[in-house]
Amino acid sequence: MPIFDKDAELMKRGEIRQLQLERLQAIVFRCHKSVSFYRKKFENAALTPDDIQSLDDISRLPFTTKADLRDSYPYGMFAVPLREIVRIHSSSGATGLPTVVGYTRNDLKNWSVLCARIMFAAGVTADDVVQIAFDYGIFTGAFGIHQGAERIGASVIPTSVGNTDRQIKIIQDYKTTALACTPAYALGLAEKMAESGVDPNTTSLKIGLFGGEPWSESTRAKIEDKLFIRAMDNYGISEVLGPGVAGECEARSGLHINEDHFYAEIINPDTLEKLPDGVEGELVLTTLTKEGFPLIRYRTGDITKLNTEKCSCGRELARMSRVFCRADDTIIVRGINIYPARVESLIKTPEGILPEYQIIVENVDSQDQVQLLIEVTEELFLDEMRRLREYHLNLEKTLKASLGLAIKAKLVEPKAIPREGGSIKRIVDRRSNNSC
């Protein structure tokens, strides 16, 4: 079983927990000293860093939520001065403001090692040619995987997402052996190959590194069948790091969490109670080493469960099960997180009127597509065709510009959207992957 960082990845559980405690105490101390948000929260809970004497004491610390990050936009929760930050990424925010993440030089070094670990565990070596078809924008996906592949010594082709014909030509001509992208994009690529008469069995592809959105075992089987590769899952979240939080090993029986850098807990999202291993709940992560933007007890919104038994690969790092559901109403389409509240803010007319709406996500020909139904009422300038057309046109443009995703907006008659018990279900997700 390939292991990149044997000292760290083959630690015994007792060693892991000891290291986690030392690092937790240090990060709590640093957050208290350098981030007023945490200092205030600790004061309100009548806590000092000295109260953290064991790992179980973490449950005394308050949670951090996406709303907290939004309130401190853009740099309010950084633990170092901006001059020590060497990279800034961000993810889309729940109500309009993105979440901004800063990395110090040391954070970038750790990030590349953590991505190298999950890629190496998935089978990538220095002999591989890794094509990265994640978006090289402000999102964390492409840069994280890129750094990891370089750290391993593989040859990186940063194609970014889109332009599928070119991607296929590069796979063929440059002899790509590993493909990193969202699972949905991999399926789209496979379809395109079939359409263009390219036989995937004749390419050099052998490994797929997929993440950034939920996908199922049946999608894995489909991708493997169509592309003749071994498809491996990896999990990450921008606020906490980006990719590199957890990934599958050859055994493929859960995703090993890089526990020397993250402390993972599972809670009941309603009661906030801590849940034992093996029970599904919301994943809460504490960063143990991050300097620029440390997070304490961050509620990821992702539903999973933990397994701390030793894996057949030799690692004792806890494994999380694949993430299928979210505790909130976020949907992820082609790796892009969509929050209904964000869509709502974009649908509003210039006069501030919010029409009735419904977001429908479907998988058509192996491509995830989003349609937005909007009921046209009298107040939505039904009487003025010109303004209505303008609204429609601007809406699709704004959605694309703000979310980075093409969404088809369809104006429908009043009451055309079905009501269940009098109310409209805001999101209808018809993809088979997403039944929780």
CB contact set of 390 (below 8 Å; sequence gap of 6+): none
Which of 237, 409 has the CB closer to ligand DLL?
Answer: 237
Encoded tokens for 389? 């057309």
Which of 49, 340 has the CB closer to ligand DLL?
Answer: 340
Which of 20, 433 has the CB closer to ligand DLL?
Answer: 433
> Interface residues with ligand DLL (CB under 6 A)?
91, 134, 139-141, 211-214, 233-238, 242-243, 300, 302, 323, 326, 332, 335, 337
CB contact set of 45 (below 8 Å; sequence gap of 6+): 60, 61, 62
**Cα separation of 434 and 436, whole Å?**
6
Encoded tokens for 96? 């309009």
**Cα separation of 353 and 208, whole Å?**
45
With CA atoms as reference, report the closest residue to 2 among 174, 154, 143: 154
Cβ-closest position to ligand DLL: 211
Compute the least distance from the CB of residue 9 to ligand DLL, in Å.
19
**Cα separation of 157 and 141, whole Å?**
14
Which of 24, 338 has the CB closer to ligand DLL?
Answer: 338
Compute the least distance from the CB of residue 378 to ligand DLL, in Å.
39
Which of 46, 401 has the CB closer to ligand DLL?
Answer: 401
Compute the least distance from the CB of residue 256 to ligand DLL, in Å.
13
Which of 28, 303 has the CB closer to ligand DLL?
Answer: 303
Which of 264, 380 has the CB closer to ligand DLL?
Answer: 264
**Cα separation of 156 and 150, whole Å?**
7
Read off the amino acid at residue 216. Answer: S
Which of 302, 316 has the CB closer to ligand DLL?
Answer: 302
CB 243 within 8 A of CB 212: yes
CA 53 vs CA 83, 128, 132, 308: distances in Å? 33, 45, 43, 22
CB 286 within 8 A of CB 58: yes
With CA atoms as reference, report the closest residue to 117 among 237, 209, 12: 209
Compute the least distance from the CB of residue 336 to ligand DLL, in Å.
7
**Cα separation of 73 and 266, whole Å?**
27
Which of 31, 181 has the CB closer to ligand DLL?
Answer: 181
Compute the least distance from the CB of residue 418 to ligand DLL, in Å.
27
Compute the least distance from the CB of residue 175 to ligand DLL, in Å.
24
Compute the least distance from the CB of residue 320 to ligand DLL, in Å.
10
Q: Is 345 exposed, middle or buried (0-12, 13-18, 19+ CB in 10 A)?
A: middle
What three-state secondary structure class fits 193? helix
- For tokens 């002999």, what's the residue? 127
Which of 123, 236 has the CB closer to ligand DLL?
Answer: 236
CB 287 within 8 A of CB 22: no
Compute the least distance from the CB of residue 405 to ligand DLL, in Å.
12
Strands 357-364 and 242-248: unpaired
Which of 102, 211 has the CB closer to ligand DLL?
Answer: 211
CB 231 within 8 A of CB 183: yes
Query: How many CB atoms are closer than 10 A to CB 101?
Result: 28
Compute the least distance from the CB of residue 28 to ligand DLL, in Å.
23
Compute the least distance from the CB of residue 138 to ligand DLL, in Å.
10
Encoded tokens for 157? 């082709």
Helices (H) and strands (E) counted in the chain, each on its own, are 11, 21
Compute the least distance from the CB of residue 102 to ligand DLL, in Å.
15
